[in-house]
Structure 1
């Protein structure tokens, strides 16, 4: 029978490769939707709160929602695995590390999506753009350049280390994640500070 880690790789392929990147764009777009409607940004920014604080709070909320989603998936994976009779002892620490890794690896995606969602008033457009970048994920993630592609990074982080043939070092991978996140966070903050909302 397939053990817990074998079962997890099947779940991770769909969730890390497709659902997690798509959900990140949906959460961010929802967090910006009401501000784009009926002059919401003007009303929000009329309060004595800096633009940077508003922008970063949206990012923290989006990241928290992804974390909540990962937690629910973690619970469902354990319960359904038990019900389906997955063999072996549940590797709690190993699976938990993969969940936290996947959560951390969504930061660049959230930074990119927040930048797009604050610029584009159309709710569906940032989601459509994100989906277009998710589509080639299967091909890009299997190449040596996949670790630089933000839409592949959650899948990499959720894959057991012994199956990561194209990544030489997880430290290098997480360094790439941090660098991409910082770059797009700075771009987003710089852009948001200069937008005049009407």
Structure 2
């Protein structure tokens, strides 16, 4: 199952889309940092650059990116009637959905490494010293990736439910904007909103490691979202074809 999923991904435009979205998000954040650099203290520049670089990518571009790659992945099955074929082999619905989530989560891990690489390149170009914070940035990239799995799970369910390519992407864009609005409404709402979890995991606003209560809440919240929408996606697949 996993081998077939990766072959489909390789033949699609997903790799190009990932690089493009991450590059645009990084460039936007880097330009914002460069315009405001004069008012920053030298000791804070690496952290502020991180916050600016990954915030736009994680809060705006990455949820839309996930919406696109989930729609592409699910449309492979819709257009070729592969859902029915997989279930008549037979392959259990929970295994079908799990293979989707796992394969796209691996892709998002690669995407997160690209974001980290782009940050390093931005810091080198702008001559910002980041070595002392590199371990933090790597660890935050891991928690950001865990949060990306939440949105992957949600978008797979939405794509299955709507059987459409464009509408799930539009929904991901709307919810990404809603996550941005949640930040202005209140930090408590932002901390639990599903489409803000990548920014929370990457510490784009806090710019400091998780406290233990924050980390426990983050893990429990994202585990709950992933399990909930995995179960809903399996149920939706069964409802449609079994």
Task: Report the structure, 1 or 2, having the larger helix content.
Answer: 2
Cross-structure match for 1:171: 216
Contact (CA 8 Å) 2:123, 2:130: kept in 1 or not?
no
Pairwise CA distance, 1:136: 2.2
Distance verdict in 2 for CA 1:94–1:88, change over 3 Å: closer
Cross-structure match for 1:42: 84
Aligned residue among 163, 167, 178 for 1:121: 163
Deviations, residues 125-176 of structure 1 (Å, cap 9, x unaligned): 1111111111122220341112221101111111168547xx9622112211
Contact (CA 8 Å) 1:12, 1:159: kept in 2 or not?
no
Distance verdict in 2 for CA 1:88–1:157, change over 3 Å: closer
RMSD: 2.1
Cross-structure match for 1:78: 120
Cross-structure match for 1:154: 198
CA distance in 1, matches of 2:204, 2:173: 25
Structure 1's consecutive aligned runs of 4 or more residues displaced over 3 angstroms after TM superposition are 160-164
Tell me the SS of whatever aligns to 1:122.
coil
CA distance in 2, matches of 1:87, 1:51: 49
CA distance in 2, matches of 1:88, 1:108: 29
**Unaligned runs of at least 5 residues, structure 2:** 1-41
Distance verdict in 2 for CA 1:99–1:152, change over 3 Å: same
Tell me the SS of whatever aligns to 1:49.
coil
Q: TM-score, normalised by structure 1?
A: 0.89
Distance verdict in 2 for CA 1:162–1:28, change over 3 Å: closer
CA distance in 2, matches of 1:128, 1:25: 8
CA distance in 1, matches of 2:131, 2:66: 32
Pairwise CA distance, 1:44: 3.1
How many residue pairs get aligned? The number is 195
Cross-structure match for 2:151: 109
Aligned residue among 28, 53, 59 for 1:17: 59
CA distance in 2, matches of 1:88, 1:71: 16
**Unaligned runs of at least 5 residues, structure 1:** none
Contact (CA 8 Å) 1:33, 1:123: kept in 2 or not?
yes
CA distance in 1, matches of 2:88, 2:117: 41
